[in-house]
Amino acid sequence: MIQFFAKFKTLAIVLAILSVIIISAIYTLLKPEERLPIFQPDMVNAELVDTTVQHVRKYHTVADFKLINQNGDTITQDFYQDKIYVADFFFTTCLTICPVMTDHMLQIQKEIKNDPEVLLLSHTVFPKTDSVPVLKKYAEEKGIIDEKWNLVTGDKKHIYELARKSYLASKSDGDGGPYDMIHTENFVLVDKQKRIRGFYDGTDPEAIEDLMDDIRILKAEYAD
């Protein structure tokens, strides 16, 4: 009996290895690939969406924009062509949620510093006071890397329309005065086709971890 098992020992080992390989292959084939949702306006809290796009159920993308960054450079979607990016809304004199949001954006900047696929974009909601020199000073104080992160100002109406019609991230349409925008704490993940792939609470450390995980998932989607 011992001689019998010794004779087929090698065969048994080979069969065991093949079984592991086959089981792993089947598991890989059956396991669904992780994919992020593509958010449409009708999937988002109507309070954050302009009435003109609340009904939209497909093909929603971030509209073209033309804004000015902390260096006085004109920033359009060309800067974000074929890039994944995280967008938010803030203002430099904010003393409530904005400092926490900025700290978390800085954390993301650190993570993506050497990643050419991912960029950041922060829109001021108070363009009248957040001029180019103000944004430049803020960027320098915070350690913002110009090549990775644009702080942008520009026409107020244009910024507010982007917030409500494109990024779906504002509770006000900006018609009530110079300081009327009730922006949210949301960070918005945008893919290379200008589609929204996620919303994250920019004040929540756990949400930032989720955002970083989703960036990895989104990058893998483009690597297929």
Tokens of 43: 């999937």
The annotation status of 183 as a binding-site residue, yes or no, is yes
Report the distance separating Cα 57 and Cα 60, nearest Å: 8
Is the distance from CB of 76 to CB of 65 less than 8 angstroms?
A: yes
CA atoms of 191 and 66, how far apart (whole Å): 19
Q: How far from the centroid of its chain's Cα atoms is residue 41's Cα?
A: 16
Tracing tokens 């060309």 back to the chain, one arrives at 78
Q: Which of 207, 162, 198, 169 is nearest to 86 (CA)?
A: 198
DSSP conformational letter for 152: E
Structure tokens at 139: 């960027």
Q: Is 94 annotated as a binding residue?
A: yes
User: Residue for token digits 């971890």?
Assistant: 209
Alpha-carbon gap, residue 192 to 33, rounded angstroms: 19
- In the annotated binding site, the residues are 94, 98, 183
Which parts are annotated binding residues for Cu cation? 94, 98, 183
